Amino acid sequence: MSRQVYSGLFVCEGTSDLPLAEIVETLFIERGMDVRLSKPDYALLGKVPKDVESRVRAGLDLVDGPVDVVVVHRDADGAGPEHRRNEIVGATTSVAARAVAVPVIPVRMTEAWLLLDEDAIRRVAGNPKGRKDLGLPSRRRLESVADPKLLLQQCLLTAADSTGRRREQVAKRFNEHRRQLLQRLDCSGPINELPSWSQLIKDIESAIEVVLSTS
């Protein structure tokens, strides 16, 4: 007997966040529900407003919805996770009432999750045997870092331990390095100690209960 596959839409802030879709799919599968997340190319529609409701609506048009699950990635930034959560759930409910919303809300930014793995940062920076202190914060302080993106940029440059043109190349490749770090994210490692990640797991488990009870 074949396993049922459920449909989903993945909405993120930028293309470098797309690896999060595969991570979320894996988290669903590990908990007994096979979800395939569509990742629409918004460029096909021209300029789509950045607000969550507009992007969910446009995404559903592109994937010819409806879907069972809508996964929306939004950094907490200065608004805070609860505000983002209400924003995502409200927008999804107004556009796709039958779908279950799953917020993905790193605190403060996705880069905070990427600061957990020193070895991965050194490998991605192209200097895996480097020994320079990267100045990484403790796990307890990680979600209170004011600008995780800037810190990650600095850590990658420090890890590369290069000068001149090579240093400039590392700086210019930040988005690619960020994507690689997302792809290497250890979902069974230290990230499980972060409240924002624990909340994501709770939201996925809750979504599974709702979808399976209504299907």
pLDDT tens digits for range 173-205? 999 999 999 999 999 999 999 999 999 999 999
Is residue 188 domain-resident? Answer: no
Task: Say if residue 134 is in the same domain as residue 163.
Answer: yes
Is residue 80 domain-resident? Answer: yes
Is residue 118 domain-resident? Answer: yes
Task: Say if residue 202 is in the same domain as residue 166.
Answer: no
Task: Say if residue 14 is in the same domain as residue 79.
Answer: yes
Task: Say if residue 24 is in the same domain as residue 90.
Answer: yes
Task: Say if residue 101 is in the same domain as residue 132.
Answer: no
**HSE-up of residue 203 (Cα within 13 Å, Cβ side):** 21
Domain span at residue 133 reads 110-183
The CA distance from 204 to 207, in Å, is 5
The CA distance from 32 to 96, in Å, is 24
**pTM for this model (two decimals):** 0.93
CB-based contact 149:181 (threshold 8 Å): no
Task: Say if residue 144 is in the same domain as residue 202.
Answer: no
Task: Say if residue 51 is in the same domain as residue 147.
Answer: no
Residue range 11-33: mean pLDDT, rounded: 94
* pLDDT, position 102: 98
